[in-house]
Chain A
Amino acid sequence: MNDTPLTGSALLTNAVGLHARPSVKLTQLAKKFAARVEFALDPAGPWFDAKSPVQVMRAKAPRGATLHFRCQGDGAAEALKAMLALVERHFDEPRAEDATIDGRASS
């Protein structure tokens, strides 16, 4: 087992940040891996357990924040790849822009 943590980061671009629904998706995905999965808003920490909804919500990550992931243990590489992919595809939520694709109220 490789003990060196793997790290990677992704930009949070969904409409309102890491809120209720995305945080549930994040923890559900993280729990699929045996590896320890943590994230932080700053590479220096503090680090939050991505498997704990309570901790994920405590992070209060707003839209536009960069999520730094740190994975360690069995399947860490797969876990990291999956977590980054989830953030990059905006948690499978329609993006704010797409909700009103050509949407600008102008009168």
Chain B
Amino acid sequence: MAELRLEGRSAAPGMALGELVRLRRATAARTASDDPAQEARALRAAMAAALADLAALLAGADAEGGAILEFQVAMLEDDLLAAPALGAIAAGRSAHEAWSEALEAEAAGYESADDEYFRARAADLRDIRDRVLAHLCGTAGAVQLPAGAIVAGEDLAPSDFLSIDWSRGGALALMGGSPTSHVAMLARSRGVPAVVGLGPMLAELSGEALVDAFRGVVVVRPGAETRRAFEQTAQRRREADNRAAAAARTPAATADGTAVRVLLNIADPAELDGLDPALCDGIGLVRTELLFHAGRGLPDEDTQYLTYRRIVEWAAGRPVTVRTLDAGGDKPIDGLTLDAETNPFLGVRGLRLCFQRPAVFMTQLRALARAAVHGELKVMLPMVTLPRELAQARALLGEAVASLGSAGVAARMPALGIMVEVPACAVAADLFDADFYSIGSNDLAQYVAAAGRDVPALADLADPVQPAMLRLIAGVVAAARMRGVEVSLCGDAGGEPAAISWLLHAGLRSLSMAPPLVGRAKLAIAACDLRRPLEGPPWRP
């Protein structure tokens, strides 16, 4: 039989080849009793058994899976969910029919929502429905699948996904489903390739199947030619991943042998767990906003000190640049940032806000001065506009160090630098008495282009490597050389392979990026030859 190609939407990237297995819970005919009271008892017992299943699954679930199961538990524990079914049973309907109809009505309500996210929750309700039905019909039990199977179905219940052993490979091929469903989220977090929206034809098919979840394609009973192409693509993906993984562990240099420092951007020390410090030449940006979230109020000096110290100790002698609180703009913090600014990106944010909240700022500066004793910690100020702001912050940092010293607490005056993200600062960078510069290309690009980061339609205007940006970056690099201080870049462009050669040609030799981007970025650096000028305009046509 000829191969059959089905197109859907990618819900989790990856590729797999395996046996197509249609997943359906076994159904069995159930004979209802004539006694409404007995039917109601049967339904309640099945619901209790389903709750016990969920509790058992919950015990072995990770955070992502756990949250989904908790939602199902909460729904099942709500008397309101079964109320329509119990009403129908009292009027003479059988337990399984009444339950199916009631849950289908509830699911249909979700499917009428405007928002795809709410529509996707219908799958969670059907998961609850089927689990209870299985207990009613006596067919409950774990799903058994061959190793590495391509699991096909209309949609997959999150609880079924969690009960499948994915350690031996496999993929998901769904006729319906949605990339925003819980099962899609689970697939992404577990690295299981998933394609959704493949259409009803899949139900009739069996045999071997190829899943290319990068492109959202499933090929059933693939021919020799398709297999070969698939193997080649999969091989290329594996090689690219392996090359990136290998490159990540070696120091970065361009094709002409120019060394480039690669630094990490992190928002939470937990991101460093399991990472080898040899991956990087230091940490170029520690965002401290996360410490101020989580509804716990503002973090005290000791909490901050311990967090900064943990990061510095992880870096084992490598420099760590911590950005002082950059709240405001698109990062509001309850009880700290100002409400009702008409244009928060041009408002009291970053260092401007810290000057208005001196107690909060001083607490952070004291914690940083204490952590600086444990390694190469540097302090970076966001949203600096005029040189006097840097002078004012330096004076406050000096006060913090002095007061800690007179109280007998170990502290040190760290290097104090600035994030270059306000055009006024970028244009006059040489006038700032900074110990280092770090270019915040995301904000700088939006301010230079007058195109907000929160406006997707304008994303191409705020291109971080457009000519105006490259001129500004070259200017900041020249100012840093003249003043004999370091300069790096810590916006998203620093980790984008397509932008990296432009940044290196503009004179940067230090880039900071999210940890998962390091491998590919180092490959992009190695591919860049600074002896040869770049061709073509640095903007996308």
Which of A16, A28, A104 sits near B117, CB closer than 8 Å?
A16
Is A81 in the interface zone, CB < 8 Å from B?
no
In the assembled complex, A3 has its CB within 8 A of some CB on chain B = no
Flag if A107 contacts B499 (CB, 8 Å): yes
CA distance A105 to B459 in the complex (A): 9
**A16-B117, A17-B118 known; A106+B106 contact, CB < 8 A:** no
Q: Which of A54, A60, A88, A102 interacts with B491 by CB under 8 Å?
A: A102
Docked Cα-Cα span, A94 to B464, in Å, equals 26
Chain A, residue nearest B73 (CB): A24
Which residues in chain B, 117-147, are within 8 Å of chain A measured between CB atoms?
117-118, 121, 124
**Shortest distance between the CB of B386 and any CB in chain A (Å):** 23
Q: Nearest-CB distance from B50 to chain A (Å)?
A: 15
Chain-A contact segment, one of B205-213, B233-241, B290-298, B422-430: B290-298
Q: State which residues 91-107 of A face B: CB under 8 Å.
A: 92, 94, 97-98, 101-107
Given contacts A60-B115, A101-B289, contact A106 B492 (CB under 8 A): yes
- 21 A-B residue pairings within 8 Å (CB atoms): A17-B117, A20-B121, A20-B182, A21-B67, A23-B74, A24-B74, A27-B74, A28-B74, A53-B74, A54-B78, A58-B109, A60-B118, A62-B115, A62-B118, A98-B293, A101-B287, A101-B331, A106-B463, A106-B493, A107-B498, A107-B540
Known A19-B121, A24-B74, A97-B331; 15 more pairs at CB < 8 Å:
A16-B115, A16-B117, A17-B117, A19-B117, A20-B124, A21-B70, A21-B71, A24-B70, A28-B74, A53-B71, A58-B109, A60-B118, A98-B290, A102-B442, A104-B462
Contact A57 B80 (CB under 8 A): no
Give complex CA distance A10, B443 in Å: 29
Separation in Å of the A23 CB from the closest CB of chain B? 8
Interface residues of A (CB under 8 A from B): 16-17, 19-21, 23-24, 27-28, 52-55, 57-58, 60, 62, 85, 88-89, 92, 94, 97-98, 101-107
Measured CB to CB, the closest approach of chain A to B293, in angstroms, equals: 7
Q: B499 — nearest CB in chain A belongs to which residue?
A: A107
Q: Return B450 CB to nearest CB of chain A, in Å.
A: 15
**B97 in contact (CB, < 8 A):** no
Is residue B34 contacting chain A, with contact meaning CB distance below 8 A?
Answer: no
Q: Indicate if the CB atoms of B459 and A102 lie closer than 8 Å.
A: no
B433 within 8 A of A: no
Question: Could you tell me if A92 and B182 are in contact, using CB atoms closer than 8 angstroms?
Answer: no
B contact residues around A57 at 8 Å (CB): 75, 110, 118, 121
A58 to B75, CA, bound (A): 11
Q: Are B106 and A54 in contact (CB under 8 A)?
A: yes
| Complex-state Cα separation, A55 to B290, whole angstroms | 32
**CA of A67 to CA of B403 in the docked complex: distance in angstroms?**
47
Residue B68, interface by CB 8 Å: yes
Given contacts A97-B330, A104-B442, contact A60 B113 (CB under 8 A): yes
